[in-house]
Amino acid sequence: MSKINPLFFALGIPVVVIVILVAIVAPRMGGGGKFADLTPFSVEKYRSDWSSLQGNSYRLDCQVVQQLSFVEGRGRVLAVKPIEKDSTRPTSRIPVFVPAGSADSFEVDQRYKCKLRVTRDLLVVEALERF
């Protein structure tokens, strides 16, 4: 019987751990963050027929332009500008509702990746992360 060299274990285990970590972390670094599996939100489709988007969740990469309203215990309405991959296309502001459960503070020009749910004619932020 031949013995397996302990050097294979000493080098093999860290390599396997690194490969597993890269497999877990790499998709999150690829642009969508923890919302990478969601469909990107289309402002054009929302403006043309918002009712077809009702009940669905989307990913929105955006930049805060202005806080429009704040009600203690209810939440806030923010005007955000979607960040487009194609910089030649003009982007306009859209309002989103952030429920009071969010502990984030929002300042002008901060950038967020949001999980956005369309309910009736309201865009509700279910989760977000700053980038």
pLDDT in tens, 71-114: 988 999 999 999 977 666 667 899 999 998 876 788 899 999 99
Structural domain that includes position 92? 34-130
Take residue 34 and report the two structure tokens written for it: 């923890």
In a domain, 8, yes or no: no
In a domain, 47, yes or no: yes
Considering the entire predicted model, what is its pTM? 0.71
Q: Name the DSSP letter for residue 93.
A: -
In a domain, 14, yes or no: no
In a domain, 73, yes or no: yes
In a domain, 111, yes or no: yes
